[in-house]
Structure formats: structure tokens, C-alpha cells
Amino acid sequence: VSAARYPHVFEPVSLGPVEIKNRFYFSPHGNPYSAGGGPSDAFAYYYAERAAGGCGLLIQALATMPRRDGLGITPYLDEALPSFKATADLVHDDGAKIFGQIHYSRVGNGWRYEPGSTLAPLFGPSNVQIYDDFMVTAEMTLQMIETIVEAHRRSARNLAKAGYDGIEVHCSHAMLLEAFLSPYFNRRTDEYGGSLENRMRLLVECLEAARDGAGPNLAVGMRFNVDEMIPGGLTIADSREILARLAESRLLDFVDLDIALEPNQFEYGMPSYLFPKQVYRPYVEAVRDAVGDVPVLSVLGRVTSVAEAEEALAAGVADLVGATRALMAEPYLVRHALEGHEEDSRTCLHCNICRGRNRGMHGCAINPATGRERRWGAQSFTPAPARRRVVVAGGGPGGLEAARVAALRGHDLTLLERTSTLGGQMRLWASLPGREVFDTTPDWYERQLAKLGVDVRLGFEATAESILALSPEAIVVATGSHYVRTGESGYLALPIPGWDRDFVHTPEEVIENGVRVSGRVLIVDEEGLNTQAGIAELLASGGAEVWLVTRAIEPIANLLTTEEYATVLPTLKRLGVRLETMTHVTEIGDHRVTLSDVFTHEVREVENVEAVVMATCRMPNGRLWHELEGKAPQVFAVGDALAPRSLPEAIHEGQRFARMIGEADAPTRFIEAYTAPIDYSVFARPASTLLDA
């Protein structure tokens, strides 16, 4: 319908022998959906959902050889072939093309499949210390190099046998082939080191081997780091030369351009919402003409809409534009644009929960179906066996998701919200500097609930009586949490003496009531999250002298794995925020505060304190679910109302419990859900089992 709006995106394109129906691609990313080293059923459905969602090309991150760290989905294993075939078949059913990115990582390889083993060395061209570790890579022998080349041939051959459409050799993110190219990592003096020709040798051999293994019907290309941005590393000029040589030798059907060394520059690899949009774009523009007529793919970084892709394609920046995270959050992004209802697309926050919890959890903060598409995907919203009158108390993320899911399953929904807006704590974060993106999720829910005809009652104080007066058959308590004023925390679950002084404020008072400080303010931080960092930024940019006090060893500790720290810490430092780690506030006197070192217990006094912001921990708002259990056929609590945690838990539980409403033999309360018999169908099975079904 709306293809006309995005003529460039919806114009087919050929990569070598492969025609792709549109120019939006799902870029490769490691995920834990493995079953014994091959694709699991969850893996196949995860990709099939994005194919159904309209994406033209899906590129999967696969290991060239077995890895032992859960990211090890590899076509090297002949026994995984049926599962790769099942995956390819599912994706092809929806008209998308599927490529395997085969990578040999310098990280994460070890003695294979031996639980509890010591660490095998990581391989590299030379002995170089790993950026985030004390370990040093092992210098590869010529025989090891040959093994890697043969692994490319074998993995490519197996993917071709499984019906894949292309191979992307990984030469970015400081993976092995990039390390050989890079004068920074490669200090060899043999035929694989020194001159550019020598440093390119392994890449060329792997590309040739992949092409040989893949045969004539598959596209073969590479992902490539345009600028290593490190002293002595590859520069744009080097990249132009490398790309020109490869283009001339006709070794590439496409090239997928980005930047970022892993782990040195993870903040570029997965730029958070605090990073500029399309941060790769100038780098791609700087080398684009060097590749001649070889088609260029690029995610550009933080693309969240088809309109952004259209603009970049029209400007000639690339031939295909794509995304990882935007499609993790919204599998139907492309189809919604094609059909003209983009307002139905969730907008990725780039909060990097997908990255922060990659090891073990993965998934998406705002889309709990991500990774569990077979059970929770778009096809799963069938009517519940019995239609129920449902009351959801609380319009934060958990309540919004519960109301949406229950309404989609045909129930009769009333959502009660105490304040005058929906969104709960997301609206609070959104009002902190640079964090406006957090408004997009509640905005999306507002649109969805309106479409679903949910009866939303704002300014409604939910009590046990007012809820029961609505005669609900199911109740979801999602009333959220608030910061405690007393300063109690996990470090010491006791009030901090002096907590009741009039210059002690809660974060809500700062954010909502506009409390501002001009002098010295101490933020007592036991969470290490955006509340504390954002308030520090807010007050410091207003002229206050801010001390961020935490007993943790690192400041804003929970923003480290999400890469938010990479922007937040420089901001805090530039604003002159004093980062007091390993420090506990033991007493608040008359505008003087006593600090204690958590290891030596040495005590210091801070004078002239104008204000203290207690941001230690949150407690549930009320005990509604305790009061209501047993008073309606089904009563559940979700998110912070149950136990204060974070955004993904709230949204996940909103969906999880809403799905139980009106089901036969469903739990009637939390503990029954918690102790329900294990549903073994949730465990990973090889994707090949889908072929039997």
C-alpha cells in the first residue's frame, strides 16, 4: 500500500546471484538460541518472525567453528545441517533471503563443551593483551591458519547445502580476520604479516574458501570495519585501499560496512540512545566510492524506522540499510511501513538490555516476545478460551503490557491509573536530560490500548474496594514502586539517621516537583541506574555541586554492560560531578553528612550540604495484591508492585500473567504460577524437530 512512500526501500536489489525483495536487512548478532551447537526451534522462529515482518534479508551471526560459550551456533557441525535447513525453509516461506555471517572471534573460544573447564587461549595473529582482560592471545601457527581457512570452506558448504542464500565473512569488530589485517593486532613477520598484501592474505584465502564452499548460487561478501580508530590501527585510507583491491579481484558480491573494535569500542558497536544517530554514516560515506560497483550494506547505527532507511538510500549512502535492535524490538517494522500503519511499530530504545544480558538472557526490554516467538509471537494472540472482565491497576509498563495482551486475547479491559498520564516510571526517566526516548514506549502503548478499546481511567485511585466494585474476574496489580525516603538499602537495610531532615529529598521530588539546588548536593546511590545518573546531570547542569555517593566499586555500575556509561560518565565528569565510590552515608546532620569508607570504615564529614537525594532503593506502592488474593478468580501482581526490579521484568510479567487469564486450569495467583509444573516445551530443541512436526 505504502510502497510508494518508500520507493528506494521497496525496490528489489541483487547481491551477486541473489535477488532480494527490498532493501531493509536484519544485521547479524550473536544470540543464545542454540541447541547443541546448531539452531534451536527458538532460533528458527526468531528469524521467521522477522521474515514475516517484511524484512528482505536476514543475516545471522554464526561461528565458523564450534565455540563453547553459548554463542556457538555453527554450520561447521554436519549434524546441525537439518536444523539450518529447517531455519532456511521457514524464512524462505515468507519471501526473505537468509545469509550466514561466519565469524571467528578472538573472544569466547575455549575448550569445547566441557563445563567447568579452564580457559583455552584465544587465538590471534600475534601475542596481544585482550582489552578487557589480563589474558594474551596465542600466536597462531601456519597450521592453525590453514584450519581457519578450511573451516570457512566447510561452514560455507554446509550453509549452501542447507539452502542458505549467502555468506558474510566477518572482518569487523576485531574478529580474527580483521586482526590479521590490522597493523595494531598483527605483528607477524611471515607471509601473513607486514605488508598490506601479507596482512590481507588470510582474508583473501577465507573469502576464496567461502566462495569455493558456497558454490555459484550464493552471494559471498564480508562485514568490514572502515576505521579502527586506534593508534596504529587501520585508517580510512587503508580501508579504501583494501576495499579497492578486493573489488578489483571480484571477490565480493557485497560489503557490509560499519565500525567498532570489540571489546575496545563496544559503545560504537551497539550505540546506546545517548549516542548520535547513524554514527557509522560518515565512515561509510568516506569509503563508499572505493568499492566501485560492489553493493554496500550498512546499518548506519540506531536506525529505527523505514523512513530513515529511505532517506539514506535516496542519498546514495548505501544500497541496503538495516538494523539489529530496531527489529529485535519490532519484528514487523518493514511490513507496517509497507502496509501504511507504522504507528503500530514499537520504537527500539537502544537501551541495550539485549546486549547487557546477551550472555544468558538476551531478549528485548520492550518486546517480551523476542526470543520466544513460537509461544508469544504475532500468531499467538488467539482468543482465550473464556472471556473475562479484567481490571489492571496501574498504567506503568507492566500494567500497559498486561492490558494490551489481555485485550488482544479478547478480554474486557479496564485500566486504572492514579495519575493523569500513562507510562509510570518511564515518563520519569524520559524527563531526565537526553532520555526523551523513554516516552516512545508509553506513547506506543497509548495508541495500542486506544485501538483495542481498553477502558482507560486516569486519575483513578485503585483500592481493594474500588477494584472489587468493578466486579473483576481477573485482576492484575501493576501499581509500581517509589523510592524510599529513609535511605535503607541492600548494603544496610536500616534507615540512615537524619533521613527525615527537610533537605533530604526523593528522586520523585526532584523530577516531578522540580526541587532544584544551587549548592552542594549528595545523591545517595545504591542502584547505579539512570535515575541517579540523570538526576546528577540535571542538578549539576543547573549549577549544583553534585556528589554521587555509592558503596559500589564502580560508579553507575548498572550502566556498564549497556554501554550507557560511555556517554554518561564523560557527561558527569564534564559537569564536575564528584564520583564517590566505596562510600556509605552513615549519618545526616544539620547540613553536614558523615561518609564512611566501606572497606576501611574511615569516616569523613562533608560540610555545607544543601540537599541530599535519597536514591537507594524502591519499594512497592502498597500491598494491593496481598489484599486482593482470593477475592477474585485470578489475581496477579507484576513488575515493581510484585518486587521492584527493572523495565524488562515489568513488561515480561505483564505479558506472562495476562496470558494466563481465562485459560483452563490456569493459576489463580502468583504462587501457583511460580510452582506450576515445568513446561518442557520451552526448552531448546533442534530446529530440525520442526521438520518432523
Ligand X SMILES: Cc1cc2nc3c(=O)[nH]c(=O)nc-3n(C[C@H](O)[C@H](O)[C@H](O)COP(=O)(O)O)c2cc1C
* Interface contacts to ligand X, rule CB under 6 A: 27-30, 61, 101, 170, 172-173, 223, 258, 269-270, 299, 301-303, 323-326, 354-355, 358
Give the nearest distance from C-beta 562 to ligand X in angstroms.
Answer: 10
Give the nearest distance from C-beta 483 to ligand X in angstroms.
Answer: 30
Three-class secondary structure of residue 45 per DSSP: helix
C-alpha angle 47-327-41 in degrees, rounded to nearest 5: 20
Identity of the residue, 173 or 659, whose beta carbon is nearer to ligand X in the bound complex: 173
Identity of the residue, 313 or 391, whose beta carbon is nearer to ligand X in the bound complex: 313
Identity of the residue, 180 or 670, whose beta carbon is nearer to ligand X in the bound complex: 180
Distance CA 684, CA 43 (A): 9
Distance CA 400, CA 446 (A): 8
Identity of the residue, 156 or 614, whose beta carbon is nearer to ligand X in the bound complex: 156
DSSP symbol at 556: T
Please give, one letter per residue, the 3-state secondary structure of 570-613: HHHHHCCCEEECCEEEEEECCCCEEEEECCCCCEEEECCEEEEE
Give the nearest distance from C-beta 180 to ligand X in angstroms.
Answer: 17
Give the nearest distance from C-beta 159 to ligand X in angstroms.
Answer: 16
Nearest C-alpha neighbor of 568 from the set 624, 622, 530, 595: 530
Identity of the residue, 76 or 499, whose beta carbon is nearer to ligand X in the bound complex: 76
Identity of the residue, 51 or 628, whose beta carbon is nearer to ligand X in the bound complex: 51
Phi, psi angles (nearest 5°) of residue 243: -65, -40
Give the nearest distance from C-beta 87 to ligand X in angstroms.
Answer: 16
Q: How many residues does the chain have?
A: 693
Provide the CB-side half-sphere exposure for 168 (13 A, CA). Answer: 29
Give the nearest distance from C-beta 27 to ligand X in angstroms.
Answer: 4
Give the nearest distance from C-beta 105 to ligand X in angstroms.
Answer: 8
Distances (CA, A) of 260 to 127, 139, 369, 393, 572: 21, 23, 29, 44, 24
The label of the residue with cell 598484501 reads: 197
Identity of the residue, 101 or 264, whose beta carbon is nearer to ligand X in the bound complex: 101
Nearest C-alpha neighbor of 17 from the set 159, 158, 214: 214
Identity of the residue, 29 or 154, whose beta carbon is nearer to ligand X in the bound complex: 29
Give the nearest distance from C-beta 327 to ligand X in angstroms.
Answer: 8
Show the DSSP H helices in 431-564 as ranges: 440-452, 464-468, 507-511, 530-541
Give the nearest distance from C-beta 79 to ligand X in angstroms.
Answer: 22
Kind and range of the H or E run holding 456: strand 455-458
The label of the residue with cell 536500616 reads: 494
- Helices 196-214 and 236-248: crossing angle in degrees, nearest 10, is 40
Identity of the residue, 305 or 530, whose beta carbon is nearer to ligand X in the bound complex: 305
Phi, psi angles (nearest 5°) of residue 578: -85, 120
Instruction: Give the alpha-carbon dihedral of 617, 622, 627, 632, to 10 degrees.
Output: -100
The label of the residue with cell 553459548 reads: 70
Give the nearest distance from C-beta 152 to ligand X in angstroms.
Answer: 16
Nearest C-alpha neighbor of 43 from the set 114, 101, 91: 91
Identity of the residue, 27 or 621, whose beta carbon is nearer to ligand X in the bound complex: 27
Give the bridge partners for 416, in sequence order: 393, 457
Identity of the residue, 107 or 416, whose beta carbon is nearer to ligand X in the bound complex: 107
Distance CA 312, CA 309 (A): 5
SS3 content of the chain, % helix, strand, coil (to 5): 35, 20, 45
Give the nearest distance from C-beta 442 to ligand X in angstroms.
Answer: 22
